[in-house]
Structure 1
Amino acid sequence: MGSQEKYLKPEVIRQVKRLDLRARFIVEGFISGLHASPFQGFSTEFSEHRKYTPGDDPSTIDWNVFAKTDRFYVKKYEAETNLDGYLVMDLSASMDYTHDQELTKFEYGICLAASLAYLMIHQSDAVGLVTFDTKVRNSLPPRSRRTQLSAILALLAKLKPTGTTDIAASLHQVAAMVRHRSLLMVFSDLLNNPDDVIRGLHHLKHGGNDVIVFHILDAAEAEFPFHGMVELEDVESDRKMVIDSDGLRADYLEALAEFQDRYRRDFAHARIDYVPVHTGMPFDRALMEYLVDRSRRA
């Protein structure tokens, strides 16, 4: 494993205390990994391209990129290269959960958000930050200056998840804040009523915004590795329950699959990108899932 790729593992990132270094190592490792992937050669070019969509002039397809990726991309026009982005971060107490992992859901999301901010700023895109629990708590408007990265990382590093959340109400508030077409990247475990969450995300999508949802679960939530009698606690309400984990496993995993499929189906219909990740997943895989999902729209 190369000197940069090792920083893509959560257990190693946990040892890097400074968030700016975490973001730098994750991005550099990710870009390095692209050279050994089906996106070989695309890593230095993808900021200058966008995926081909029906209605685009076929003559604008970049065939050199197609030869490297087997996917259709067109060169961005100059007006398209500047994009406003918002990192939208869930501050709920449930995001502070971890079971036998190096990073909590919140810490994992912070690392992802910091990495995407690093990428966007270095592509000269404007990026801002919004945090929420029951309502919006912090807001940095998008800017493309290098000093913006320091401001975003400083705020991300200070954030603490606490209390309950109202994802839907917060997303409606965020939608009202966005004045023109933007890229909205949402980092959340989505542990609210799915109907309400979906309505909030549809509101974000309204007006032509591009929406990406990073659905972050703890590895234990995704895989349910428990055995025997286990006491579970709701971190937002402090309610506790003792369960027979072996007897419950099949039902739990089925319910989780239905929960994620509900989001996946609705988001696909609404053209919202859905990227399910968990805290045991190397960061290059999480970012590649995003990149592959985006390219699939071509």
Structure 2
Amino acid sequence: MNPVQLPSRNSQGSFLDPAALMRIKSLELRAKVVVEGLWKGMHRSPYHGFSVEFSEYRAYVQGDDPRYIDWKVLARSDRTYIKKFEDETNLRCQLVIDHSKSMGFGSLGFTKADYAATLGATLASFLMKQGDAAGLTTFADGIEEHMPPRNRPGHLRRIIAELERPAKAAGTSLALSVGQLAELLRKRGMICLITDLLAPVEHLEKQLALLSAMGHDLVLFHVMDRAEIDFTFEKSAHFRDAETGVERFVDPQLVRETYLKRLQAHRETIQAATDRHNVEYHFCPTDQPLEEVLFNFLSARQRKKASKSAAARFAT
């Protein structure tokens, strides 16, 4: 068997170009490359580095019971950490990934579905390496597959195997799918929704409000292809709606300005809805490196945690 050729970084150590990353056929290996690349770029250990929230340890503070100090870590690093109890260590994260027809579009040699699957596999790999639990839900016109959060041998491979399955040919019912998800997820945790959001935001907002009221921590990754964002089409052609099959002859020169205004309005509506319900929002063009998406996600988690800590100190 020939060895797998991994894409290389440039001399500045910049993030991998997604097109180069997607040339790796194995989804599991793509996720591994992204996670390892992020940590190498930050020059930190995944267990004692950037995101304390995802670590199995926390720094010792005055008043902690010294019986729970990890003396092996102290001997290795000259830093004092204590083991977190299970109820404060294990994050439960449900990855919810759009498998509708519109996710099959791509102008860069790979599709939005490829990008979303790689992002989902990367998040699952990262979380489970930190001792947290990850699950997977896929949807189109309703829930397709649902795997509750686990952290046990073989579970990550099950998630990746499901992500590698081709999406079913179905339209999007985002609000219905999220509503069904609320019935499945009774325990509070993090929900990471990965979708192109080609659906009415008004219906989705009601379901996001419901999940937020149930105590879930919501993160939305809005995936769009660069051609959709900039409307880079030049020649007049028949454009077919991937989900309805409706065709329309379009001259890009005539409709580009209107399209871009409507897209901007759509994104502003999404941003306003997520702000209202305290949903963490990440806009992810498919030419954005996955390492950068993960870094932005972790940065947002760190800021959120710091904000909560500051609020708690102020309250006392």
TM-score bucket of the superposed structures, by smaller chain? 0.7 to 0.9
Match for 2:52 among 48, 51, 65?
Answer: 48
| 1:199 lines up with 2:206 in the alignment | yes
Corresponding letter in the other structure for 2:20: V
| 1:141 lines up with 2:145 in the alignment | no
Corresponding letter in the other structure for 2:227: A
Closer, same or farther in 2 for the Cα pair 1:80/1:10, shift >3 Å?
A: same
1:248 CA drift (Å): 2.0
Aligned to 1:27: 35
- In structure 2, how many angstroms separate the alpha carbons of the residues matched to 1:261 and 1:147? 41
Aligned to 1:8: 16
Aligned to 2:90: 82
1:46 CA drift (Å): 3.6
Aligned to 1:91: 99
1:44 CA drift (Å): 4.1
1:155 CA drift (Å): 1.1
Aligned positions of 1:55-134 closer than 5 A:
78=85, 79-99=87-107, 101-134=108-141
Closer, same or farther in 2 for the Cα pair 1:243/1:210, shift >3 Å?
A: same
Conserved? CA contact 1:120–1:126, under 8 Å? yes
Corresponding letter in the other structure for 1:284: E
1:6 CA drift (Å): 7.4
Give structure 1 stretches of 5+ with no counterpart.
51-57, 61-74
CA deviation map 1:24-65 (0-9, x unaligned): 001111222234xxxx77884244338xxxxxxx999xxxxx
1:154 CA drift (Å): 1.1
Closer, same or farther in 2 for the Cα pair 1:77/1:122, shift >3 Å?
A: same
CA deviation map 1:129-175 (0-9, x unaligned): 11111211111111111321111111111242421121101101101
Corresponding letter in the other structure for 1:216: V
- In structure 1, how many angstroms separate the alpha carbons of the residues matched to 2:109 and 2:295? 21
What is the TM-score of this pair, normalised by structure 1?
Answer: 0.83
- Count of matched residue positions in the alignment of Structure 1 and Structure 2: 272
Conserved? CA contact 1:23–1:111, under 8 Å? yes
Identity of aligned residues (%): 31
Structure 1 residue ranges, 4+ long, deviating more than 6 angstroms after superposition: 40-43
- In structure 1, how many angstroms separate the alpha carbons of the residues matched to 2:233 and 2:290? 25
Aligned to 1:63: none
Conserved? CA contact 2:94–2:134, under 8 Å? yes
Greater shift after overlay, 104-113 or 239-248? 239-248
Match for 1:162 among 148, 169, 172?
Answer: 169
* RMSD over aligned Cα atoms: 2.6
1:263 CA drift (Å): 0.9
Task: Give 3-state SS (helix, strand or coil) of 2:294's partner.
Answer: helix
Conserved? CA contact 1:215–1:274, under 8 Å? yes
| 1:260 lines up with 2:267 in the alignment | yes
Structure index of larger Rg? 2
Aligned positions of 1:158-237 closer than 5 A:
158-237=165-244
Corresponding letter in the other structure for 2:39: I
- In structure 1, how many angstroms separate the alpha carbons of the residues matched to 2:128 and 2:240? 40
What is the TM-score of this pair, normalised by structure 2?
Answer: 0.79
| 1:242 lines up with 2:249 in the alignment | yes
